Every structure is written in structure tokens, then in C-alpha cells.
Amino acid sequence: MLYSKHITLPPKKTEATSTKEHFKVNKGIIYRAWLVFPSGCAGLVKVRVYHEGHPILPVNANDYIKGNDYVFEVPLFFEVTDEPYDIVFEGWNEDDTYEHTVTLMLLILPKKYVLPVGAAEGIMESLKSLIVRGEYEEL
């Protein structure tokens, strides 16, 4: 499932006065994430995403992501297994005049669809190496 959340961050905020938005998701693997910073953020809007205190974006607990007119597309493999299936978006806007709206999108897939793909790719690579090795041994 693709989840999308638009979070408007008021001006003149700090990390201590950050906005936190909670949203429910399904159990599964967070397979890909997108963070959309519109033009005008000028690096003044800072965000992080986590689940039950575990950082998802970025992976360092005390860091944050900032941007301007940019879409961060991040491949992930973060499993959401326990209730509540609650993702937390935290952000603050240090702009002294304007509010800014950041969009977070998460693609969460059932585990059964994600793991077989990786396993199949690994098997194919192993088979390729055997075939290539076999060809060279014959020469």
C-alpha cells in the first residue's frame, strides 16, 4: 500500500517545538519512501521519520533531512511487525515568515511479496556464477 501524508509546518519553530504527526499503516515492509520538499524551503525545514522510537529516515537518531525543491527517494527494508503500526513524522520549520508543506510517502508491502524477490535474485546470481565458472573451466 502507498501511504501519503502532507504535513504543513508553521514558521518560527525549532526542534524543541517540532510538529509531530502520527499515522497508522499496515503490517509489512517499508520498501520505499519519498520525502518531498517544495521550492521555498531553502533548507530551513527539517524532518525525521521513526517507528516506536527507531529512526527510519534518516537512520541516525539525532539527524534530520532538509531540502529545497527536491524529492528524496529512498529504498528501504524496514519491517513493521508490532502494533501499533504507527509511523511518526517529526518536522520543524525555521523560516521566520512562511509555512511549508512537506509530503511523506511510504510504500509498504506484505513480507511475502518482498522476500521471495530478493531470494530469487540471489539464486539467479549464484546460478550465473556457476555457469560462468563452468564455461571457463572447460577452456
Q: What is the pLDDT of residues 4-27, one digit of tens each?
A: 999 999 999 999 999 999 989 999
At residue 36 the predicted structure's pLDDT band, cuts being 50, 70 and 90, is very high
Tally the domains of the chain: 1
Q: Is 90 helix (H, G, I), strand (E, B) or coil?
A: strand
48: domain CATH number is 2.60.120.380
Q: CB under 8 Å, gap of 24 or more: what pairs does 63-68 form?
A: 64/15, 65/35, 66/37, 66/41, 67/35, 67/37, 67/41, 67/43, 68/37, 68/39, 68/40, 68/41, 68/42, 68/43
Could you list the residue range(s) of the whole structural domain that residue 60 is in? 2-111
Nearest to 50 by CA among 13, 14, 102, 104: 104
Helix, strand, coil % in the chain, rounded to nearest 5: 20, 45, 30
What are the pLDDT digits (tens) for 37-77? 999 999 999 999 999 888 999 999 889 999 999 999 999 99
132 falls within a domain? no
80 falls within a domain? yes
Q: Are 37 and 69 in contact (CB under 8 A)?
A: yes
Residue 97, pLDDT > 60, answer: yes
Q: What's the pLDDT at 138?
A: 54
Q: What's the pLDDT at 32?
A: 95
Average pLDDT, rounded, for the chain: 88
136 falls within a domain? no
73 falls within a domain? yes
Ranges 21-25, 79-83, 96-100, most confident: 96-100
131 falls within a domain? no
Write out the three cell numbers for 74. 529512498
64 falls within a domain? yes
Residue 117, pLDDT > 70, answer: no
Phi, psi of 118 (to 5 degrees): -65, -40
